[in-house]
Structure 1
Amino acid sequence: MNVKLIVSYDGTSYRGFQRQTRWSNTIQNVLEECITKIFEKKINVCGSGRTDAGVHAIGQVVNFSIDTKIPVIKIPELMNKRLPFDIRIVDAQQVRSAFNARIDAKRREYRYLFYKGNCEFPGIDRFCWKLDNLFDLKIAAELCSNLMGTKDFNAFMSSGSSAATTVKTIYNCSIQKVNEFNWIFSKGNFQLYELTVEANAFLYNMVRIIVANIVRVATGQEDKHNFLEILESKNRKLAGKMAPANGLYLTKVTY
């Protein structure tokens, strides 16, 4: 049977999702070792996308094929007993034999968290990027709207990408204040922001480069007209440094 898993993980201690021969501490390696022990046979998993070192997920999708009498509904419990605390199996389903988590994905959604102000929760910097300058939400929202549609995002792609094309379609790009968790993080001048991007596919480091450029404009470090010029230039060198990995989450994959 072909099994589809929804996986959530804290990527802080891992060298990304994809299996590596040099390093054992990748999400894919850990998942495959766990599954192999349960079913007592070598199993390879296919992921919907490769998250970089330090990037988190609450909606990563993987699939694998296995001949077993174990009910699929039991797989999350069996795996979670063996997995480290920072990787959880949220759901398991039996899917058609031809299903492939990567190839069949139609849309992927990422969210990026960052904050301004003082935080009393000591662990927040594992999961969010701290900004040092005042942040203009209205300007950031305007820049987000400029990204929607089908465009060439070559300027927002790091070298080393194997993408067949740099033209991608962004269906949603938006930003908002998040106030639900203020009681955890701070009693003072703390504000959490969430930037959401959904597209048919993403280029290497695309979201982190987009976030960094939006933040630079919204914090007054660059003019907003530069943002559009960078996008239209298709020149990665003009886009500057990317945002850190710790604020990025793969949140949803649509099939």
Structure 2
Amino acid sequence: MRTIKLTVCYDGSNYFGFQRQAKEITVQQILEEKLARVCGEPVTVTGSGRTDAGVHARCQVVSFTTGGTIPTANLPRALNSILPEDIRALRAEEARPGFNARKDASRKEYEYRIRYTPEPDPFSRNYAWQMKERLDVEKMNEAAAKLMGTHDFSGFQSTGSTQVSPVKTIYRSCWETEADGTLVYHIAGNGFVYHMVRNLVWSMVQIGLGKKTPQAMAEELKQKRGEFENSPAPAQGLYLAKVEYEPFIYENEK
């Protein structure tokens, strides 16, 4: 059996998240159905992360085993010929036996996008949080900087988190403004509790609106409330941007 590391991207607007559901269409379901056709046998994939309904991925990594003989160089092209247009296979690699896209991930990076739209914009509604109010990005960045390092994020997890530990290390946390005025939050860490990024964004938006001070972020980190007390930021603004792994030897490099 071969172990394959497959990198895909997708527009999550039409899916009930990544993970397979009993009665809803998900990205995992579509990938497994199409991989079964390409590999000539049933395939079960493991994703690096379980994006929620409406969340997008620029770089989602999945792993699976197969006895199929299709060369990895041909796998993305074969998949893309039968995948829906809102899911694309980017690259495929032979991985070491036992490689697991979720358990072996050492760093994940997300981005969250906010657009200032005095009137609702039908073209960006599925790809950003649209806001009528201007935000103080300087104060939001001051708050974002307080997330750097290792912290207990139990106060920023939503009910249903399956993480063993809420203690996570954050390597990057900052807001940037793009040329068209879109605000983009970048956060990278060794792991994330359920809804953590969206809950952090919601809190920083309150700071950007002047409802809280940047120091409130540090105080909320210390509270360890057990779960987030407010609704998370809307799903459509969130993107899984990058997944990294510790170096290891691929089978085709031996």
Q: After TM superposition, is the score higher than 0.5?
A: yes
Is the CA contact (8 Å cut-off) linking 1:209 and 1:239 kept in structure 2? Answer: no
> Structure 2: any 5+ residue segments left out of the alignment?
246-254
The answer to whether residue 9 in structure 2 is matched with residue 8 in structure 1 is: yes
**Does 1:211 find its partner at 2:201?**
yes
What is the CA-CA distance between 1:229 and the residue it aligns to? Answer: 2.2
Amino-acid identity (%): 39
Cα distance in 1 for partners of 2:121, 2:202 equals: 24
Shift of 1:173: 0.4
Structure holding more helix per residue = 1
Q: Find the aligned partners of 1:250 and 1:151 in 2 and give their Cα distance.
A: 21
Q: State the number of aligned residues.
A: 244
Q: Which residue of 2 aligns with 1:165?
A: 165
Secondary structure class of the residue paired with 2:36: helix
Cα distance in 2 for partners of 1:133, 1:224 equals 18
Cα pair 1:208 1:244 within 8 Å, conserved? yes
Per the normalisation by structure 1, the TM-score is 0.91
DSSP-derived class of the 2:171 partner? strand
TM-superposition CA deviations, 1:106-138 (whole Å, max 9, x none): 011000011114589632111011122121111
Instruction: Give the aligned partner of residue 143 of structure 2.
Output: 143
Kept in 2, the 8 Å contact 1:174–1:195? The answer is: yes
| Residue equivalent to 1:102 | 102
TM-score, length of structure 2 as denominator length: 0.91
For 1:108 and 1:6, locate their aligned partners in 2 and report how far apart those are by CA, in whole Å: 14
Distance in 2 (CA, whole Å) between partners of 1:49 and 1:220 is 33
Contact 1:230 1:239 in 2 (8 A): no
Displacement after TM superposition at 1:222 (Å): 2.5
Tell me how far 1:242 sits from its aligned partner. 1.1
Stretches of structure 1 lacking an aligned partner (at least 5 in a row)? 183-190
Structure 1 runs of 4+ with >4 Å offset: 118-121, 236-239
Deviates more, 1:117-126 or 1:216-225: 117-126
Match of 2:248 in 1: none
Conserved 8 A contact 1:151-1:169: yes
Give the secondary structure class of the aligned counterpart of 2:177. strand
Distance 1:76 1:237, change over 3 A: closer
- RMSD after superposition: 1.6
